[in-house]
Amino acid sequence: MTLSQQILQYLITGVTVGTIYALIGMGFNIIYNSTEIINFAQGEFVMLGGLLTVSSMQILHLPLPFAALVSIIGVALIGTLLNIAAIRPVKDPNPITLIIITIGASIFIRGVSSLIWGKEPYPIPAFSGEDPIQFFGAVIQPQSLWVMGVALCTIFGLRQFFGRTITGKAMMASAFQPKAARLVGIDTRFMVLISFALSGLVGAVAGIVIAPMSMTQYDIGVMMGLKGFCAAIIGGLGNFWGVLLGGLALGILESLGTGLISSGYKDAIAFGILLLMLFFRPQGILGRTKGDRV
Amino acid sequence: LRIPAFIRSPYAGFVLFTAVLAVLPPLLTNDYYLNVLIFIGIHSIIAIGLDLLLGYTGQISLGHAAFFGLGAYFTGVLTAKTSLPPIAGLVLALVGVGILAYIIGIPTLKLHGHYLAMATLGFGIIVQIFFKELNFLTGGPSGLVGIKDMTIFGYEFDSDLKYYYLVCVSLLLVLILSINVVQSRVGRVLRAIHGSEVAASVLGVNVSRYKVAIFVLSALYAAFAGWLYSHYMTFVSPSSFGFMFSVKLVTMVVIGSLGSIWGAIFGAALLTSMPEFLHVFENYETTVFGFILVSVMIFMPRGLLRGLEDLAIVVYHKARELLAEKGEEA
């Protein structure tokens, strides 16, 4: 392989991983947009998505598409439950309290998952075979195309949902001005509930499409969640196209860094970019500066 | 209910605490508990520092395990690779971590809320990766061996009991320093920053300077604890200084009671000894840990120590009411 072919290969890997980060970051955005909460348990949705699919296939003997559907609905319900059990009862919802609660919830979910599924990794079969596609001397796994396709469709779908449907607009409204939203008759509590369900759904989708490429395990959620959050911050928290851009930038830089520098520093590169971003442009690539009100 | 001024002062607690620490070892039925107590002491030092930052000043750090680790590795590498004594390691750990915390603190503490949490978390993860990857210095993922036993100016701390008293003295020093910080003008400034940064700066407080200063101080506590840890274990490995340990530290402070130094010690004691109690559950440990964290935050957001205080006050008033009613009936 020539150097340019190698770089092309790294780019392909980077774009694949990047769209996954974007998808996970999207989950953060959905909840952030309707509540201004950062849900540190987002990564656990990704893990649950993969593992519930595995179980649906093994125990219920469902074919992959139905197993995936069961898993997505299941994780959406878990997201709803998280909101009802851990977020709603909080009397004084300041950021530090909520950060600690969602971290606690993620530890709890991870603990329960390790009891149910044990600590070994599980595979999910690739959606459409494993014959690699040749592409200018580089190789594309068919699953990569699935990842990119599903991620793009999901992001586009969400964009339409928030921009075009009444429910979506109501959700945006309750995040923007909760009091005004309540005055025009929007049930803001219900909108928050939907945002947790939707965020669980998106997380599960990400977990399912990536599982054939990287296996799935009870503890993959931590890193997945953090990387997704990096993508959201890099793109601009709450910005839908920004998170895609952020995810792709993160995935590509990480993959190039791994290939050309050293694989041991892969996560250090991701978090290094995050720190630089936070120090010099905390509003993200596409975010607008927001004046602080006292 | 009148309490004499001396008992109400924080120094009364300090004197009592010193006495308890001094007489504790002979009361232990099992030598293993001494080992647990040493860890409680080490964790308390970090938790007190984190409480100054999180509880008093209102700035979260999800990367304090990194400072603890840096302290442990600085002294570990120095004493394992050269003939210098642990006390030189302490100097290196404090100076190195102090400078690093200062450099990181300036841009980081401009951030608020989630952004601050994420930046400190990212820093912690990067530091842990360096522990793993700088093989020639740190021994890589499998850890660093050959760290010297603790000696201070020729005196060897060669038994757990001696080490226990060393940790106690260290903890008491940190404690008295922190009580003084909290009671002084600086402490009031920190609480003002917690209340409202804008209001504090309107009153002429240089907010960012104080925030960075307290960040550096709490990092120094963690590095000091790292030094004690390193020479007690004489072995360190990257897995002890990860994200989960940072979360555990925050949990100690939060469960103990934010903004209470005794709460931090209480939280450190509870969380460090909890695995011993939870041995019965073994595999359920993380699950129970997560559950406790969430439920304390929901039902006792002021922490267990304050929660118990609140409860005691409620019970006291209820009891007085009842007594008063009884009195009227009679």
* Mean pLDDT across chain B: 89
CA distance B110 to B207: 10
Q: Which of B117, B122, B129 sits opposite A275 (nearest CB)?
A: B122
The minimum CA-CA distance between A43 and chain B, rounded to whole Å, is 14
Q: Would you say residue A293 has pLDDT above 80?
A: no
Average pLDDT over residues B148-175: 91
Q: Percent of chain A beyond pLDDT 70?
A: 97
Mutate to test the interface with A, among B62, B100, B118 (most CBs of A within 10 A): B118
Q: Does B135 touch chain A (CB under 8 A)?
A: no
**Pick from A84, A83, A58, A82: which is nearest to A71 by CA?**
A58
Q: Using the beta-carbon criterion (under 8 Å), do A105 and B286 form an inter-chain contact?
A: no
| Beta carbon pairs, A and B, within 8 Å | 122
The average pLDDT across A10-38 equals 89
Nearest CA in chain B to A94: B113
**pLDDT tens-digit series, residues A150-206:** 998 998 898 888 889 998 888 888 877 888 888 998 888 888 899 999 999 999 999
Q: What pLDDT is stored for residue B269 in this prediction?
A: 93
pLDDT more than 90, % of chain B: 51
Question: CB of B103 within 8 Å of any CB in chain A?
Answer: no
Q: Is B122 on the interface with A (CB under 8 A)?
A: yes
Q: What is the average pLDDT across B16-24?
A: 86
Instruction: Say if residue B5's pLDDT is above 70.
Output: no
Q: Which of A103, A262, A274 sits opposite B118 (nearest CB)?
A: A274
Q: Which residue in chain B is spatially nearest to A292 when comparing CA positions?
A: B198
Task: With CB atoms and an 8 Å threshold, state whether A111 touches B130.
Answer: no
Residue among A101, A106, A278 whose CB faces B111 most closely: A278
- The CA distance from B65 to the nearest CA of chain A, in Å, is 16
By the CB < 8 Å criterion, does B204 face chain A?
no
Q: Is the pLDDT of residue B296 over 90?
A: no
Distance between CA atoms of A95 and A37, rounded to whole angstroms?
Answer: 7
pLDDT tier at B313 (50, 70, 90 boundaries)?
A: confident
Chain B residues within 8 A of A42 when measuring between CB atoms: none
Is the pLDDT at A45 greater than 80? The verdict is: yes
Distance, in Å, from the CA atom of A106 to the CA atom of B294, rounded to the nearest integer, reads: 10
Cβ neighbors of A30 (< 8 A, separation 6 or more) are: A158, A195, A198, A199, A202
A265 vs B133: CB contact, 8 Å cut-off? yes
Complex ipTM, two decimals? Answer: 0.86
Query: B166 to chain A, minimum CA–CA distance in Å?
Result: 33
Q: Is B195 an interface residue toward A (CB < 8 Å)?
A: no
Alpha-carbon distance B53 to B259, whole Å? 9
Nearest chain B residue (CA) to A264: B133
CA distance A180 to chain B (A): 25
pLDDT of residue B302: 81
| Chain A touched by B108 (CB under 8 Å) | yes
**Three-state secondary structure along chain B?**
CCCCHHHHCHHHHHHHHHHHHHHHHHHCCCHHHHHHHHHHHHHHHHHHHHHHHHHHCCCCCCCHHHHHHHHHHHHHHHHHHCCCCHHHHHHHHHHHHHHHHHHHHHHHCCCCHHHHHHHHHHHHHHHHHHHHHCHHHHCHHHCEECCCCCEECCEECCCHHHHHHHHHHHHHHHHHHHHHHHHCHHHHHHHHHHHCHHHHHHCCCCHHHHHHHHHHHHHHHHHHHHHHHHHHHCEECHHHHCHHHHHHHHHHHHHHCCCCHHHHHHHHHHHHHHHHHHHHCHHHHHHHHHHHHHHHHHHCCCHHHHHHHHHHHHHHHHHHHHHHHHHHHC
Q: Between B275 and B82, whose confidence is greater?
A: B82
Mean pLDDT, to the nearest integer, of B275-303? 80
* pLDDT at residue B187 tops 80: yes
Contact B122 A96 (CB under 8 A): no
B287 touches chain A (CB under 8 A): yes
A111 and B286 within 8 Å at the Cβ level: the answer is: yes
List the single best residue of A47, A100, A254 to mutate versus B (max B Cβ within 10 A).
A100
The tokens of B37 are what? 């107590």
Mean pLDDT of B274-279: 74
Of the candidate ranges A138-142, A290-294, B283-287, the one whose mean pLDDT is the lowest: A290-294
Residues of A in contact with B125 (CB under 8 A): 226, 267-268, 271
Q: B4 or B48: which carries more pLDDT confidence?
A: B48
Please state, in angstroms and as integers, the Cα–Cα distance from residue A225 to each residue in A51, A141, B65, following that order: 16, 24, 20
Nearest neighbour of B123 by CB, restricted to A90, A110, A275: A275
Distance CA B267, CA B305 (A): 9
Best residue in A278, A283, A293 for a mutation probing chain B (most B CBs within 10 Å) = A278
Q: Which of A32-46, A95-109, A194-208 is most confident?
A: A194-208
pLDDT band per the 50, 70, 90 thresholds, residue B319: confident
Distances (CA, A) of B23 to A274, B175, B270, B291: 49, 18, 20, 34
Rounded distance between C-alpha atoms, residue A74 and residue A86, angstroms: 18
pLDDT at B9 over 80: no
